Structure 1
Amino acid sequence: MVFQETLESRKANPNIVSLLAALLFCSLILQNTQLSTAPAYAIIALTYVCISIAFLWYTPQITIARNWLTPIFVAFVVIVFVRTALDPALSNVVRFFVLLTFTTANLFILPQLISFRKFCNVGSRISAVLVVIGFLPYLGFSFTIGFIDVSLWGSSIYWYPDLKPMMSVFINPNQLGGLTLFATIASIREWTGDGTSIALPLIALNFIGLALSNYRTGWVAFGAAVAIFIVYLLWGRRALLLATIGGLSGLMIALFMMFGVIPGPEFLTEISLNGRRALWIDSVTALRGRLLLGHGFQGVISIVGNPHNSYLRMFTAFGLIGGFLYLVFVIGATVDGARRATTTSGVVLAMLLVAFAVVQVNNQLSFVGISMRSTIIAIILGYSITTDFKTDFPQFKMDL
C-alpha cells in the first residue's frame, strides 16, 4: 500500500522535520561506530517511533495511491514470510520483522514525512562534517573519545598507495564511502536546484571523502550516476531513460558473459572480481539446490557467507520467485524514476537510484535491513515509489 498525502495535509513543522532527519542519520551512523549493538539498535528503534508519531500527527488525511511496484513488494513479503515459516530460526524471524516494520516504514512512510529536498540537504551536511573529522588523522590527530574512534584504516588507497583510507568515526571505510556516495550526489541537487553558496563546498568535501574511503564500488556507482546526469544535460529526459536502461542492460549482459551464460570476450571470464567470482558461483550452486524458495537469510550466511551481491543473495535466500521479485522491484523503481524525471530533484533521484542499483552488484547490501546503507537504499526507493511525478515533485518546491 502506498500512502500519498495531499499538499493540504503536509503541515509538518520545518524544524521538527529537520530534527527528525538529523536524528535518523545520526542513529544510523552510531551503529557503525564502536558503540555496543544493543544501545545502537535501541536508539534506531526510538528514532523510528518518533518518525511514526510525527507521521500520524502531521498527516491526518491519507489517500491511497496506486503504484505497480506496491504489489511486487507485497508479493516479495509473502515469499519471505513463507520461507521464514519453513525455517523459523531466530535470525530469520528477526529479519522478517525488520522487513515488516523498518523497511516498510522506509519505503512508504518516511518519504511522506521528510521531503526529498530535506533528506538530501541534511544528509549531505552531516556527511561533510564527518569528512572534515576524518581529515584529522592525516594531520596527525588520531583520537578516541568513548565509542568514537577517529583513525585511518590499515591499508593503502588504490589510487595513491602512500595514503591510508579515511574512516572518520566509522569502524570501516566502506561505511564512510556509502554515506559520501549518497551525499555527493545529494549535494548536486542543492547545487543545481537551490543554487546555495554552500552547495559546491558540500560536493567537494563529500567527493573527497568518497575518494579517500577506498570504496571502489562507490566510485563505479558514482561514475554511472554522473554519466546519466551528463546525458540528461546534453540530450534531455528521453536520453536519460535510454541511458539508464542501456546501462543496466549492459551491466547484466557483461555479468552473463563473465560466467559464460552468453558468448563474450574471453578476458571477461578471467576477471576475479577481487575474489567475488568464487562467492557468486557458490551462490548459484546453492540456488540450484533449492530453486523454488531458496535457503532463507540464515541459510545464505551458513552456505556462502557474504556473497557480495545483493541480487544473488536474494535469489539464494528466496529462490527464483523471491529473487525475481526483488530484482523487478529495484530495477523497476530505477527505470521508473528515470522515466518520470522532469525536474532537477527528479534527475538527482534517478542518479541515486542508478548508483544504488549498481552498488548492489558488488555488495550484499539490500533495501531490507536497518544498516545505514540498506536504510538509505530503501528510503531512496521509497521516494521513487511514493512521489507523484505527475505534479512535478511539488514537495520539492516547498520550503521544508
Structure 2
Amino acid sequence: MSAFLVIIGIPTLAMESYSLGPIEITPWLYEFNLPPNLISGDINPIRSIFRIPNTLGLIASIGFFSSLGLTITAATKIRISFTILNFLGAYLNGSRSAFIFTLIGLVIFFVAIYLKCPISTFAVQSIFCSIFLPLIVFSIRPSLIPQFIDLTGRRTLWEASINAIKTNPLLGFGAGDQSAYIDTYIENEMHSEKGPHNSYLRMFLTTGILGGVSYVLFVLYVIINSSKAMRSIEEKTIVVIIIIFSLHQMFSSWAIFGQVGIRFFGLASSIFFGYGIRIYIDD
C-alpha cells in the first residue's frame, strides 16, 4: 500500500496537480533542493493523498523496511520494486526527519542482520540510545539546540510546552486540546493552535512527570528487551520499525497513549509495540 501511495505522489514532481477521481493530488507548497543534487534545481516535495508530506514520509519509511525485510528473506522483482519505491517516497517527500531516521534505521537493520549476538544486540541498543536519549534532552531543553538548526517552528512550541508543564508538573493537564495549554506562552501567533509537535512532550503535558517518564521508560523497555530477543529477519524488521516510530515521535504530535480518538500512527505504532512485547515474551 505504501508503494502505491508513493506512485500516486511521484507525478507531482513534473506537474503542479492532477485529479485521481474526486481527489486532487498536489505537491507541497515549498521547494527544496535534493541532496546530493541528484536532480538539478528545486522541486516540490510529494505528499500523495495526504495534507502534509511528513505523513507520506513516515508511511514510506515503514513500508521500506517491511519490503526490505521481505526482500532479504526471499527476493522477487515486485518486492525489490516496492523497496525502491518506498525509499524514494521517504526521500522525495522532503521530510528531513523521515529520511534521516530511515538512514539510521537502515544502519541498525544491517547491524542486526549481519552481526552475531550478543554483539548485534549491544550495537542496536547503543545506536538507538545514543540518538534517542539526546533527542529527549533536547526536547526538554530546546535552548541547547544550535540556532542554525531550523526546526520549522518546533523550538518555539517545545519551549512553550516546557513552560506550561512547569505550571502543573506532577499530573499534567489531562487529555484535551494541547494547543490551548501552551498558547499562553507563545508570542508569535503564527505558531499558535499547533500543540507541542513532540509526542514525548505531549505525554508530559497531559499526564505530568509521572506519565511522561513512564512513557519514555516504556519505549526504552520495549526496544531494549525486544532487541535482546530478536532472532528472525521478521523480528529484526519489527524492532527497527519500532525504533523508527520512537524517533519520529520527537517531531510529531501522535502518541501510543494519551490522545483523544483513534489516529492512524498511534494505532499502527501500538500494533508494532505489541509485536515487540510478544517477541521477548515468547523468547
Q: Please give the TM-score of this superposition, normalised by the length of structure 1.
A: 0.60
- Residues 111 and 124, structure 2, Cα contact 8 Å, conserved in 1: no
Distance 1:256 1:128 in 2: 31
- The residue number in structure 2 matching 1:168 is 48
- The residue number in structure 2 matching 1:206 is 86
Is residue 2:277 matched to residue 1:385? yes
1:49-60 matches, within 5 Å, as none
- Residues 267/381 of structure 1: CA separation in 2 closer, same or farther (3 Å cut): closer
- Higher helix residue share: 1
Distance 1:329 1:269 in 2: 29
- Residues 147/298 of structure 1: CA separation in 2 closer, same or farther (3 Å cut): farther
Structure 1 unaligned segments of length 5 or more: list them.
Answer: 1-125, 392-400
- The residue number in structure 1 matching 2:3 is 128
- Residues 299 and 317, structure 1, Cα contact 8 Å, conserved in 2: no
- Residues 252/170 of structure 1: CA separation in 2 closer, same or farther (3 Å cut): closer
- The residue number in structure 2 matching 1:275 is 153
Instruction: Give the superposition deviation at 1:206.
Output: 0.7
- Residues 225/282 of structure 1: CA separation in 2 closer, same or farther (3 Å cut): same
Indicate the structure whose relative CO is greater, using CA pairs within 8 Å and at least 6 residues apart.
1
Distance 2:276 2:132 in 1: 22
- The residue number in structure 1 matching 2:206 is 317
Deviations along 1:262-286, whole A, 9 cap, x unmatched? Answer: xxxx984544533322222221221
- The residue number in structure 2 matching 1:148 is 23
Distance 2:162 2:140 in 1: 13
Larger radius of gyration: 1
Identity %: 26
Instruction: Give the superposition deviation at 1:299.
Output: 5.0
Amino acid at match of 1:366: A
1:1-400 matches, within 5 Å, as 126-140=1-15, 142-145=17-20, 147-159=22-34, 162-255=42-135, 258=138, 268-270=145-147, 271=149, 273-304=151-182, 305-368=194-257, 370-387=262-279, 390=282
Q: Please give the TM-score of this superposition, normalised by the length of structure 2.
A: 0.82
Amino acid at match of 1:152: P
Q: RMSD of the TM alignment (CA)?
A: 2.6
Q: How many residues align?
A: 262
Deviations along 1:194-253, whole A, 9 cap, x unmatched? Answer: 333322111101111111111211112212211112222442242332233323432355
Amino acid at match of 1:142: S
Instruction: Give the superposition deviation at 1:146.
Output: 5.3
- Residues 256 and 269, structure 2, Cα contact 8 Å, conserved in 1: yes
Structure 2 unaligned segments of length 5 or more: list them.
Answer: 183-193
Deviations along 1:150-181, whole A, 9 cap, x unmatched? Answer: 12112113426521111222222122112101
Distance 2:78 2:146 in 1: 46
